[in-house]
């Protein structure tokens, strides 16, 4: 069951809609894909630096788009609900860039002509993030109610499954997405995603009039409502994990081995498609 209370969180809804809009636009203008896709040499040219974050918005085809949006929907909604809309926007930007930089460094050495695009890096990052959180209270998990595997292995199982099903998917890109998701869960990006001096709340206060007039179907999660409870998780869990009613709600402490409450992870279907050798 998907998150019934979070399917219309503001940021995740806008992200998915924007991905779809960009795809539709690319059908009428083929240059959009080539102009936004990530090339290994993008890191080394100032004019190409926007590609470090733009590649996540473009997709190679309908099924690439469909599976990424479907896979991103639930975990991104849950992340936004528990961490705030503004914070989620910063996190997505950091994750995209954190995957792109090492990809360019590796690509310039080993696959200089391979171009990548798609939001599956975000999908893998969120899967590994929630897998790490759940591993603090559930060292193992039953996959398809049959096989018990280490919780931390879930992202890697999905990565290999996708690679076998879609051989031209970006194995390196997916792996880097997993690594950045674990780093996010460990708190490595906190200084980049939590603005100092209460800037998030000040910005939201200035924009409160606009936020208050958002349509009722959108739920903007303010920083003030989540900053004191960030990294605490509700009893809501995605199908990948079983629920343990004996676990009490406890915060995730990034510097210790404290456990979180329930298992929160996303159903993974997405592919990080490799566009081809040349654009």
End-to-end CA, the chain: 40
CB 272 within 8 A of CB 173: yes
Average pLDDT over residues 47-57: 96
Query: Are 101 and 52 in contact, with CB atoms under 8 Å apart?
Result: yes
Asked whether residue 128 carries a pLDDT value surpassing 50, the answer given is yes
- Catalytic annotation, pick one of 174, 260, 261, 273: 174
pLDDT for position 99:
97
pLDDT value, residue 9: 63
Tens of pLDDT, residue by residue over 233-267, are 544 344 444 444 334 333 333 333 333 333 443 43
Total Cβ atoms within 10 A of residue 18:
11
- pLDDT of 273 reads 44
Query: In terms of DSSP bridges, do strands 140-143 and 147-150 run parallel, antiparallel, or are they unpaired?
Result: antiparallel
Question: What is the distance between the alpha carbons of residues 240 and 90, in angstroms, rounded to a whole number?
Answer: 27
Helix (H, G, I), strand (E, B) or coil at 64: helix
- Cβ-based burial of 66 (10 A; exposed 0-12, middle 13-18, buried ≥19): middle
The Cα–Cα gap between 240 and 71 comes to: 13
Q: Is 125 a catalytic residue?
A: no
Tell me the percentage of the chain whose pLDDT exceeds 90.
47
What is the average pLDDT value for the chain, to the nearest integer?
80
Given its phi and psi angles, is residue 203 left (phi above 0), alpha (psi -120 to 50 degrees) or beta? alpha
10 Å CB burial of residue 34 (0-12, 13-18, 19+) is middle
pLDDT at 202: 86
The confidence score (pLDDT) of residue 197 equals 66
255 is annotated as an active-site residue: no
Exposed, middle or buried by CB within 10 Å (0-12, 13-18, 19+), for 118? buried
Do residues 260 and 231 make contact, with C-beta atoms less than 8 angstroms apart?
A: yes
Render pLDDT for 220-241 as a digit per residue (tens, 0 to 9).
Answer: 888 888 877 676 554 434 444 4
Catalytic residue among 120, 125, 137, 170: 120
C-alpha span between 61 and 168 (Å, rounded): 13
- Bigger pLDDT: 54 vs 244: 54
- pLDDT for position 199: 85
List the one residue out of 47, 24, 48, 51 whose CA is nearest residue 37: 51
> Which tens digits make up the pLDDT trace of 161-216?
999 998 888 999 999 999 999 999 988 998 888 877 688 888 888 888 887 777 76
Q: d(Cα 255, Cα 37) in Å, to the nearest integer?
A: 36
- CA 14 distance to own-chain centroid: 14
pLDDT (0 to 100) of residue 118: 95
10-276 is a CATH 1.20.1540.10 domain: yes
């Amino acid at each position: 069951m998907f998150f019934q209370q979070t399917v219309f969180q503001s940021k995740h809804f806008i992200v998915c809609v924007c991905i779809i809009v960009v795809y539709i636009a690319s059908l009428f203008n083929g240059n959009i894909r080539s102009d936004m896709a990530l090339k290994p040499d993008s890191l080394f040219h100032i004019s190409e630096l926007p590609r470090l974050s733009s590649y996540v918005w473009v997709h190679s085809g309908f099924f690439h788009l469909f599976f990424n949006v479907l896979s991103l929907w639930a975990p991104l909604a849950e992340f936004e609900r528990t961490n705030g809309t503004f914070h989620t926007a910063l996190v997505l930007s950091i994750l995209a860039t954190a995957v792109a930089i090492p990809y360019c460094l590796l690509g310039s050495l080993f696959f200089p002509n391979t171009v990548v695009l798609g939001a599956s890096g975000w999908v893998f990052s969120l899967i590994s993030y929630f897998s790490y959180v759940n591993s603090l209270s559930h060292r193992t998990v039953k996959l398809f109610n049959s096989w018990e595997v280490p919780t931390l292995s879930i992202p890697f199982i999905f990565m290999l499954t996708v690679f076998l099903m879609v051989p031209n998917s970006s194995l390196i890109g997916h792996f880097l997405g997993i690594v950045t998701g674990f780093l996010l869960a460990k708190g490595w990006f906190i200084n980049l995603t939590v603005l100092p001096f209460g800037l998030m709340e000040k910005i939201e206060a200035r924009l409160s009039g606009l936020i208050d007039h958002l349509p009722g179907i959108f739920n903007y999660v303010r920083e003030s409502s989540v900053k004191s409870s960030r990294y605490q998780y509700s009893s809501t869990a995605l199908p990948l994990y079983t629920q343990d009613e004996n676990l009490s709600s406890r915060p995730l402490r990034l510097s210790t081995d404290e456990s979180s409450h329930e298992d929160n992870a996303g159903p993974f279907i997405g592919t990080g498609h490799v566009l081809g050798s040349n654009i």
